[in-house]
Amino acid sequence: MNDHLIVVDSLKKVYEGRIILNGISFNINKNEVLAIIGPNGVGKTTTVEIVLGMRKADSGSIQIKLSNSKKEIGAQLQNTPFFYNLTAE
């Protein structure tokens, strides 16, 4: 058995005909911290927003194996507007 708590497989996202994510895949394991770094416009924020459920992917899958993911996942996003389903709670 593996310790993968989050499994992201082949995420794809296109905005206005521009491919932002093209099949990104990764796992986040128990007791692991993930940092996504890179130049502006490569899909870092989009990836995190999709994993957190703030945006929908065009294709691909995400499995979150946590009993209460909203309380167990912490994320710090830069310049992200608030979404209708995001609360301080």
Please state the domain extents for the chain. Answer: 4-72
Tell me if the domain spanning 4-72 has CATH number 3.40.50.300: yes
| C-alpha dist (Å) from residue 84 to 17, 47, 87, 88 | 25, 18, 8, 12
Tell me how far apart the alpha carbons of residues 27 and 41 are, in angstroms, rounded to a whole number: 22
Res 1: pLDDT: 46
- Give the residue carrying structure tokens 């995400």: 62
**Could you give the residue ranges of the DSSP H alpha helices within the chain?**
44-51, 69-72
Res 33: pLDDT: 84
In tens, the pLDDT along 11-65 reads 999 999 999 999 999 999 888 888 889 998 889 989 988 998 889 999 999 998 8
pTM, whole model, 2 decimals? 0.75
